[in-house]
Every structure is written in C-alpha cells, then in structure tokens.
C-alpha cells in the first residue's frame, strides 16, 4: 500500500478538542509545562492513545511514549511527536500539531488494519517551550543525554522557583521508566512553520533541512537603590537605565547581522520595582539565533562588549552568563529525502526550509536520524493566541508524515 491518506477531519477535531484545555479568551491556549492543565492534556492524550490500542509508558522526566507494535517487536521504533506545553500566549498548533499528527497516523493505520515491520511510537516531550522552566527542550534533552536527569528535574519555575521535578510529581507525571538509552530507528516531527516563508510562497510543505543555532543568556545588572527624590541625577547608579541601553543594543546586534540573525529580550525583572526607588538590580534574558555558528560567536562577542561598556559608563556591574547553547543542526539526509519523496508522491509542492524555532528534533538528531515537516501558519504568526493554520495544510503535513513514517518503519 502506497500513498495512504489520513483522516483530516478527525485530525482537526482532535486539535480543537485538545485546544479547549487551557483555552484563552482570544482563541489561544495557555498550558504551561507541568501545570494542572498540562496534566489534563496529557491524560486526554493517553486516553486517546489507549483507545487506539497503543501501550503507554511515562519516563522519569515525564515524556510520554505511546507504542503501536510492529511485526518485529525487536526492531527499534520509528518515533514521531512534539509537545503539549505552550507559551503563556500560545496557540492551538505549536507542539499540539506534531502530537495529534502522530495520533492520526496511528488511527489511520488502525482503520486500514496496516501492520508495520517496526513498531511506531508517538512521543509527547516534557517542557519543550522553555517558558515556565528554562531552557527549552528539556524532556528531549534528557532523553538525548544533553542534560542529566537530576539537572532536568531541578529546573526552577522562572517566577516561583518550584522545580520541574516537583511539579511533574504533583500532576502525576514523574514516571517510572528510565529516560532514553534505547535505539530509535528514526524520529520525525511535524510542526507549523511559525514564520512567513511557506505562506508567502504558497507552498504547503516545508522539507526542513536543519535548525538554526541558539545562544541564550541571563544578564544581571547591579547598581544601587536610592531615593527617587533627593538623589541628584549625576549620583545615580540606575540598573534599569543600564539594562534599557543594553536591551536596545541587543536589538541592534540582531539588525546588524541581517537578514538571518534574531535577537530578543523577552523576560525582565526589576528590583525592587517600586516607583519611587531607583532600581538597584535588573535581571533579563537574551535569545540569539542564527543559522551560522560563526555569526552567533560574533554576536556573543558584541553582546559582552556592549554590556561591559554600558555598565562601566554609569558605574554599574553587569554579569553576563551564557545560559544555553546549541549549534546549527542539520537533519539526517535520508530522512529529509523521505519527507521530500512523501511530499512528491502526494503531489504537494514543497520547498526546503531551515527551522527558525528550536524543536525536540534538534536534540533527537544527536541520538537518532531525525527530520521535520513544516506546514504554513497564517500570517507567519506563532507564540500568539491568534496563531492559526489551515485544515488542508495540516492534513497535507500529516499525509507526508504518515508516508515518511511508513517508509522508515518498513525499511530493510
Ligand atoms: C521554542 O518555541 C523556541 O523558542 O523556539
Ligand atoms: Mn513547538
Ligand atoms: Mn513554541
């Protein structure tokens, strides 16, 4: 059997049902990692997988695997999935699409009574977003041996400090299974593009050849708290003024490395955050991305130089801590080819694309052949409650996923 097709209406219905968990008034989803709502979404996903005849297991970092047995259970599985957690102003598709697409693949194979040679597993990774607990991709990172388990479980909530491990325990998803270790034949992840390229080109399928690299920083600027009234301007050591100048320079560094660089400050804490006290301490994060590692290295140099110069000009102290790094990551040529071939066989136009976002596939690429399938999203908008995708594009991506998975699961 070749060129099989999924049930696009069922895929859409599952996405809409899942999006009710954490639904926001503006039509988005707020389902932070290891929150009660994340637990609810996980339980719904497990119920659907069990209804589809899968065997479910949860590992010690909370990653969920749902397995459909193959003719030869001793073969390494073909794995597909993504994540169920969202940003605070998240949408219905970032992450959820990859998990529901995996489920739709299972349901379609059940409808057809199709037996694969190798087992197939759907995975829902823990804390992909890196919003509540940083960095991103923690579940897949522990799976791939990038972080050790203790380090992953100890990640603190960025506001309250409660750990990821404690929260997984609380929502019932600190599983018993050891994390990773076993061989994976192939890993595929379907995802919305989260940028404007495919929509602008009018192309339904992005054949993702790799992901750009990232460098994340935590910067602490220290000055001195003082009274907003009696303290003359020349005597002030205002940490927020220093941070504001640095934040502007972060943006300029992004523009200076156009067209591919991205530079973002998305998290700022001002202390004591009192309107008539000069701020004594500011903590903020920097997110740098670029498809070339040499450019990221140059951006790193510029950031450190700018922070030091800005701080010393107004007698502040600036600590620049590199918090997270991964280099630009190419995906596996054979799997990329399998995605391209599946798109062609289905008659979908396609183009090669590099992922601007981080994905669990980036860490999976370190331990297994990995690749991704992108579909357009409306206006290129993501990490926003208005994030949207067209049902026909989601169906197309899932058809490509199904056939790419089958190609690998039946490979010699
Ligand atoms: C994950 O959403 C990322 O920051 O790319
Ligand atoms: Mn995602
Ligand atoms: Mn995301």
- 79-103 per-position pLDDT tens digit: 999 999 999 999 999 999 999 999 9
| pLDDT above 90 for 2 | no
412 pLDDT exceeds 80?
no
Residues 350-356 have a mean pLDDT of: 98
If you measure from the C-alpha of residue 264 to the centroid of ligand 1, how many angstroms do you get, rounded to a whole number? 12
pLDDT the model gives residue 252 = 98
Question: Does residue 135 have its Cβ closer than 6 Å to ligand 1?
Answer: no
314 burial (CB, 10 Å; 0-12 / 13-18 / 19+) is middle
Looking at every residue in the chain, the average pLDDT score rounds to 98
Residue among 192, 14, 7, 185 nearest 105 (CA): 7
Probe ligand 1: pick from 359, 362, 377, 382, max atoms within 8 Å of CB? 359
pLDDT > 90: percent of the chain: 99
Does the structure show a pLDDT above 80 at 57?
A: yes
328 in ligand 1 pocket by Cβ < 6 Å? no
Q: Give me the pLDDT at residue 411, please.
A: 86
Residue 15 CB less than 6 A away from ligand 1? no
357 CA closest ligand 1 atom index: 5
Bin 299: left if φ > 0, else alpha if -120 < ψ < 50, else beta. alpha
The answer to whether residue 231 scores a pLDDT higher than 70 is yes
- Taking only the tens place, the pLDDT of each residue in 304-340 is 999 999 999 999 999 999 999 999 999 999 999 999 9
| CA–CA dist 343, 375 (Å, integer) | 11
For ligand 1, mutation pick of 136, 158, 289, 354 (most atoms within 8 Å of CB):
136
Contact by Cβ (8 Å): 61, 149:
yes
* Binding site membership of 365 for ligand 1 (Cβ less than 6 Å): no
Question: Residues near 249 by Cβ (< 8 Å), separated by ≥ 6?
Answer: 303, 306, 310
**128 CA from centroid of ligand 2 (Å):** 7
**Ligand 1 in reach of 358 Cβ (< 6 A):** yes
Answer whether 58's CB lies under 8 Å from 173's CB: yes
pLDDT in tens, 357-391: 999 999 999 999 999 999 999 999 999 999 999 99
Q: Which residue spans within 12-171 are E strands per DSSP?
A: 55-58, 64-68, 78-83, 120-125
- Taken in order 320, 321, 322, 323, is the CA torsion positive or negative? negative
Q: Nearest ligand to the C-alpha of residue 136?
A: 1
For residue 7, the CA-to-ligand 1 centroid distance in Å is 29
d(CA 80, CA 123): 6
> Which of 357, 363, 387 for a ligand 1 pocket mutation test, highest count of atoms within 8 Å of Cβ?
357
Query: Which pTM value belongs to this model?
Result: 0.97
Q: Is there a contact between 155 and 127 (Cβ–Cβ < 8 Å)?
A: yes
pLDDT for res 3? 84
* Gap from CA of 323 to ligand 2 centroid (Å): 20
Query: Does ligand 1 have an atom closer than 6 angstroms to the CB of 357?
Result: yes
- Residue 31: what pLDDT? 98
Taking the CA atoms of residue 374, residue 22, residue 45 and residue 167 in that order, the dihedral angle to the nearest 10 degrees is: 110
For helices 36-51 and 8-18, the axis angle rounded to 10 degrees is: 150
- Ligand 1 close to Cβ of residue 129 (< 6 A): yes
The answer, yes or no, to whether residue 1 has pLDDT greater than 80, is: no
- Give yes or no for residue 238 having a pLDDT over 70: yes
Extract the tokens encoding 214: 């990232």
DSSP 107-133: HHHHHHTPPPSS-EEEEEES--S-SSB
**Residue 164 and residue 148: Cα distance in Å, rounded?**
14
Is 356's C-beta closer than 6 angstroms to any atom of ligand 1? no
Q: How many alpha carbons lie under 13 Å from residue 12 in its C-beta half-sphere?
A: 12
Other beta carbons within 10 angstroms of residue 393's beta carbon come to 24
User: ω before 48 within 30° of 0 (cis)?
Assistant: no
- The alpha carbon dihedral of 84, 87, 92, 97 has a sign of negative
What is the residue-wise DSSP string for 177-235? Answer: BPPS-S--SEEEEEEE--SSHHHHHT-SEEEEEEE-EEEEEEEEEE---EETTTS-GGG
Which string of b and e fits 78-112 if b means at least 16 CB within 10 Å? bbbbbbbbbbebbbbbbbbbbbbbbbbbbbbbeee
Q: Nearest CA to 384 among 18, 27, 21?
A: 27
């Amino acid at each position: 059997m070749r060129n099989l097709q999924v049930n696009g209406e069922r895929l859409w219905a599952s996405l809409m049902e899942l999006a009710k968990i954490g639904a926001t008034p503006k039509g988005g989803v707020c389902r932070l990692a290891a929150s009660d709502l994340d637990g609810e979404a996980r339980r719904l996903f497990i119920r659907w997988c069990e209804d589809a005849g899968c065997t479910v297991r949860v590992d010690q970092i909370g990653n969920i695997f749902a397995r459909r047995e193959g003719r030869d259970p001793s073969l390494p599985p073909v794995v597909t999935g993504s994540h169920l957690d969202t940003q605070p102003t998240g949408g219905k598709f970032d992450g959820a699409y990859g998990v529901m697409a995996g489920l739709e693949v299972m349901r379609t194979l059940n409808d057809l009574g199709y037996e694969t040679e190798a087992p197939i597993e759907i995975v829902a990774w823990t804390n992909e977003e890196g919003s509540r607990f940083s960095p991103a991709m923690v579940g897949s990172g522990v799976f791939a041996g990038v972080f050790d388990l203790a380090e992953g479980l100890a990640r603190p909530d960025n506001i309250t400090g409660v750990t990821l491990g404690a929260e997984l325990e609380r929502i019932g998803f600190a599983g018993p299974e050891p994390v990773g270790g076993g061989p994976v034949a192939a890993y595929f992840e379907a995802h919305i593009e989260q940028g404007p390229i495919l929509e602008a080109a009018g192309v339904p399928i992005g054949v993702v050849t790799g992901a750009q690299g990232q460098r994340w920083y935590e910067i602490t600027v220290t000055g001195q708290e003082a009274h907003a009234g009696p303290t003359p301007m020349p005597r002030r050591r205002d940490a927020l003024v220093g941070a504001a100048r640095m934040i502007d320079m972060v943006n300029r560094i992004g523009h200076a490395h156009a067209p591919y660089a991205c530079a973002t400050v998305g998290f700022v804490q001002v202390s004591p955050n009192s309107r008539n006290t000069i701020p004594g301490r500011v903590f903020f994060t920097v997110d740098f991305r670029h498809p070339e590692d040499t450019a990221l290295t140059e951006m790193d140099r510029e950031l450190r130089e700018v922070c030091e110069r800005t701080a010393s000009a107004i007698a502040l102290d600036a600590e620049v801590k590199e918090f997270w790094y991964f280099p630009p990551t190419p995906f596996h040529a054979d799997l990329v080819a399998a995605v391209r071939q599946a798109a062609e066989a289905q008659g979908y136009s396609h183009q090669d694309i590099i992922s601007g976002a981080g994905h669990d596939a980036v860490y999976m690429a370190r331990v297994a052949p990995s690749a991704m399938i992108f579909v357009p999203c409306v206006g290129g908008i993501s990490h926003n409650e208005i994030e949207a995708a067209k049902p026909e594009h989601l169906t197309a991506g899932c058809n490509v996923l199904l056939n790419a998975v089958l190609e690998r699961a039946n490979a010699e």
